[in-house]
């Protein structure tokens, strides 16, 4: 894993400022502290800060092909690179490293953009053809790794994180009103957009091409295949579980490839426990595991972690997340995440990756993606319940289904009635493309009541639902309702929040690489063809995955109710000596950013200071407002980094014949 960045002239050859590459690479130093490298010619400057994991000695980037006509900078891992390399050697290609980076370059040389179909991995990379002056950039299928870009002064500026672009931009950085509207609707931006005006993100499953004659074009090379033919309904449960088990084993096997030790996150839930169990049972690895414990008992899962640790005899380390810590480091996770955050959950993961790095590890396996791919979230079960309500309005089972889903709430009659009313919204329109998510998204819309009149005016008539609808597959309306729910969850929450704000950004802040076995594209494509009734059996979530792991884990782990990963907000922010809310949320600061209504923010703060508890919506509003204020201070009021005079590239290739 690395940080990559660069500058491309879009109109004609012109000097590339070497100091700009130094500034950008320095801003990405946390992503790759091991070494740096750069390439410059008349058209382009490429730079990279490397986290060395494969071929520690000779894997310096940028890397070139045999005749140095092609150059690549690469962030990520290609897990099937040995097999591809062997095939390329048979075709006459010659390699000077043993890296996966060089494999991509030679595969591109042979197949151009068609090479992407062969890659099993997580990646963002840029290839420059110095003979044809052609630029190619690509991002992995589901967006595990990021790539941002901005067009300015007839140049394309690109980087693994927006901060590297902001570092050298000539224009003043501003918030994008539409980007903010999306975040306070979906918790994240829709693919391609960011919180910053004129800074874009290459969408998952897309590539970007440029040549002087044709300009910039962006193409989609992979989409979630829920519209493909379903597997036979006659297939048995043992058939499904055997095939999933084989896919999981191979996904984990190739993700253990590294020239450094590989650890694993362990939460005590099914997903991370299952990965750990497979590593232990099939690969005989004495796996190091890492987990989080919480000060607040309602968030803590150490009981289940300890059960798995004892069962699998792992060598385990943990980080204890106190409420004070969560408030203290909240500003850090906003800086690294580069978008408003509606939750506090990224903070403990940031602390966990620091623990991993302090223990001498660079790589960990993690359980992200299992809930989305195998049907684990409550929102999928809620959708089944609401669908039943819609088509069976007189059924006596209507209230009982919701009670089965949330038994603890039905101990309080008032809460139970509120919940039933909440989930009845929209059930008269089961064919709505957003039927599964509309209740929650409509609830999120109330967060925008805190927006200032000025921001509301800038947003104007923009409708985030219409925007999302415009990018849905053409035949989306015909899909199974559970598939629809999965698709929406994957392209919004998973790709935009889970893999970013809680994933790559929190790990790479401490120079740690996450590997995500459940998001092997072979598993995604297989599960997309499994009939939904096998994913959620009645209201039993992740039914097939539970069957796969049943023989390897304690029954309490396999059948425990789904407990979403969360972290406390109000109790972490209020009366925290590291978080001066009276200053952060003062009328002066709120008015200066111009994003929120200072009177409404003041009322929320008073409520938070006085009340014993806050509603879920108020907690989200508090986190969202504070994080946006931090983001404003970090990037709108941006102060350029002080790059040391002695900061130099370890490798520097200068092919310019234009004086700088």
- Residue 136: in which H helix or E strand, if any? strand 134-139
Q: What pLDDT score was predicted for residue 425?
A: 79
Alpha-carbon separation of residue 547 from 182, 216, 268, 534, 540 (angstroms): 38, 47, 17, 11, 12
Alpha-carbon separation of residue 442 from 185, 324, 447 (angstroms): 8, 32, 10
Q: What pLDDT score was predicted for residue 253?
A: 97
Q: What pLDDT score was predicted for residue 389?
A: 85
Q: Is the pLDDT of residue 659 over 60?
A: no
Fold of 237-374+486-558: Rossmann fold (3.40.50)
Query: Which of 71-75, 236-240, 394-398, 607-611 shows the lowest per-residue confidence on average (mean pLDDT)?
Result: 394-398
For 535-541, which contacts have Cβ atoms below 8 Å and span 24 or more sequence positions? 535/374, 535/375, 535/380, 535/482, 536/375, 536/380, 536/381, 536/384, 536/482, 539/381, 539/384, 539/385, 539/401, 539/404, 539/405, 541/375, 541/376, 541/377, 541/378, 541/380, 541/381
For 320-324, which contacts have Cβ atoms below 8 Å and span 24 or more sequence positions? 320/292, 320/293, 320/294, 320/295, 321/292, 321/293, 321/294, 321/295, 321/347, 321/348, 321/351, 321/567, 322/295, 323/295, 323/296, 323/568, 323/571, 323/572, 323/576, 324/572, 324/576, 324/577, 324/578
- pLDDT single digits (tens) 95-153: 999 999 999 999 999 999 999 999 999 999 999 999 999 999 999 999 999 999 999 99
Average pLDDT over residues 552-563: 93
**Residue ranges matching CATH 3.40.50.620 in the chain:** 237-374+486-558
- Which residues sit opposite 210 in a β-bridge? 135, 216
How many percent of the chain have pLDDT more than 90? Answer: 85
Q: What pLDDT score was predicted for residue 398?
A: 66
Q: Who contacts 158 (Cβ-Cβ below 8 Å, separation ≥6)?
A: 4, 5, 6, 7, 8, 126, 137, 147, 148, 149, 150, 165
How many percent of the chain have pLDDT more than 70? Answer: 96
Its pTM stands at: 0.95
Q: What pLDDT score was predicted for residue 56?
A: 63
- pLDDT single digits (tens) 229-244: 676 667 899 999 999 9
Reported confidence tier of residue 410, pLDDT bands at 50, 70, 90: low
Reported confidence tier of residue 403, pLDDT bands at 50, 70, 90: confident
Average pLDDT over residues 9-16: 95
Average per-residue pLDDT for the chain: 94
Reported confidence tier of residue 52, pLDDT bands at 50, 70, 90: confident
- pLDDT single digits (tens) 458-471: 999 999 999 999 99
Reported confidence tier of residue 570, pLDDT bands at 50, 70, 90: very high
**Residue ranges matching CATH 3.60.20.10 in the chain:** 2-222
Average pLDDT over residues 402-429: 75
Neighbouring C-alpha atoms within 13 Å toward the C-beta of 457 = 5
Q: What pLDDT score was predicted for residue 564?
A: 86
- pLDDT single digits (tens) 187-208: 999 999 999 999 999 999 999 9
In three-state form (DSSP H/G/I as H, E/B as E, the rest C), the secondary structure along 11-31 is: CCCCCCCHHHHHHHHHHCHHH
Q: What pLDDT score was predicted for residue 660?
A: 45
Quick one: DSSP state of residue 492?
Answer: I
- pLDDT single digits (tens) 426-482: 888 889 999 999 999 999 999 999 999 999 999 999 999 999 999 999 999 999 999
- pLDDT single digits (tens) 296-348: 999 999 999 999 999 999 999 999 999 999 999 999 999 999 999 999 999 99
Reported confidence tier of residue 647, pLDDT bands at 50, 70, 90: very high
Fold of 2-222: 3.60.20
Q: Is the pLDDT of residue 510 over 80?
A: yes
- Output Rg (C-alpha) for the chain, integer angstroms: 25
Q: Cα separation of 47 and 25, whole Å?
A: 7
Question: What tokens appear for 260 in the block?
Answer: 């450094």
């Amino acid at each position: 894993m690395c940080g990559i960045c660069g500058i491309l002239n879009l109109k004609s050859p012109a000097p590339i400022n070497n100091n700009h590459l130094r500034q950008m690479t320095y801003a990405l130093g946390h992503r790759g502290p091991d070494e740096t490298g750069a390439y410059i010619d008349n058209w382009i400057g490429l730079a990279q800060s490397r986290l060395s994991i494969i071929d520690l000695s000779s894997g310096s980037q940028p890397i070139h092909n045999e005749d140095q006509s092609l150059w690549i900078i690469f962030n990520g891992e290609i897990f099937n690179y040995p097999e591809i390399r062997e095939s390329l050697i048979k075709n006459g290609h010659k390699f000077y490293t043993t890296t996966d980076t060089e494999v991509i370059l030679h595969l591109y040389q042979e197949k151009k953009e068609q090479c992407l179909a062969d890659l099993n991995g997580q990646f963002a990379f840029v290839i420059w053809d110095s003979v044809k002056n052609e630029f190619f950039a690509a991002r992995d299928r589901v967006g595990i790794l990021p790539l941002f870009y901005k067009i300015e002064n007839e140049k394309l500026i690109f980087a693994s994180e927006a901060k590297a672009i902001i570092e050298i931009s000539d224009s003043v950085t501003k918030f994008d009103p539409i980007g903010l509207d999306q975040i306070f609707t979906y918790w994240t931006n829709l693919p391609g957009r960011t919180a910053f005006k004129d800074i874009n993100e290459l969408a998952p499953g897309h590539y970007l091409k440029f040549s002087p004659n044709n300009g910039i074009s962006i193409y989609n090379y992979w989409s979630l295949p829920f519209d493909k033919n379903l597997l036979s309904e006659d297939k048995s449960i043992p058939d499904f579980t055997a095939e999933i088990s084989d896919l999981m084993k191979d996904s984990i096997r190739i993700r253990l490839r590294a020239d450094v030790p590989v650890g694993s996150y362990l939460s005590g839930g099914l997903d991370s426990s299952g990965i750990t169990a497979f590593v232990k049972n099939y690969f005989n690895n004495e796996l190091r595991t890492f987990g989080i414990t919480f000060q607040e008992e309602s968030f803590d899962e150490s009981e289940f972690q300890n059960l798995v640790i004892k069962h699998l005899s792992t060598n385990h380390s943990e980080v204890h997340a106190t409420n004070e810590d969560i408030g203290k480091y909240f500003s850090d996770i906003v800086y690294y995440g580069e978008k408003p955050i509606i939750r506090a959950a990224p903070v403990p993961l940031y602390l966990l990756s620091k623990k991993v790095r302090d223990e001498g590890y660079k790589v960990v396996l993690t359980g992200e993606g299992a809930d989305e791919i195998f049907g684990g979230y409550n929102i999928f079960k809620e959708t089944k319940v609401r669908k039943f309500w819609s088509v069976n309005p007189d059924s006596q089972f209507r209230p009982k289904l919701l009670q089965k889903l949330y038994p603890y709430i039905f101990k309080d009659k008032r809460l139970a009635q509120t919940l039933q009313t909440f989930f009845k919204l929209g059930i008269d329109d089961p064919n709505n493309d957003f039927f599964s998510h509309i209740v929650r998204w409509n609830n999120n819309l109330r967060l925008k009541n805190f927006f200032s009149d000025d921001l509301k005016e800038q947003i104007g008539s923009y409708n985030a639902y219409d925007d999302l609808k415009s990018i849905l597959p053409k035949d989306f309306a015909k899909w199974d309702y559970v598939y629809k729910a999965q698709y929406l969850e994957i392209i919004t929450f998973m790709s935009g929040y889970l893999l970013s704000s809680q994933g790559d950004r929190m790990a790479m802040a401490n120079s740690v690489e996450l590997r995500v076995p459940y998001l092997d594209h072979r598993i995604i494509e297989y599960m997309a063809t499994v009939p939904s009734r096998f994913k959620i059996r009645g209201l039993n979530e992740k039914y097939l995955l539970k069957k796969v792991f049943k023989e390897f884990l304690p029954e309490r782990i396999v059948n425990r109710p789904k407990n979403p990963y969360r972290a406390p907000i109000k109790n972490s922010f209020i009366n925290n000596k590291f978080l001066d809310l009276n200053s952060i949320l003062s009328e002066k600061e709120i008015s200066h950013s111009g994003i929120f209504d200072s009177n409404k923010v003041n009322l929320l703060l008073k409520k938070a200071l006085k009340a014993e508890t806050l509603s879920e919506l108020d907690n989200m509003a508090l986190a969202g407002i504070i994080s946006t204020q931090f983001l404003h201070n970090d990037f709108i009021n941006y102060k350029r980094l002080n790059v040391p005079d002695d900061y130099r590239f370890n490798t520097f290739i200068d092919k310019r014949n234009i004086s700088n």
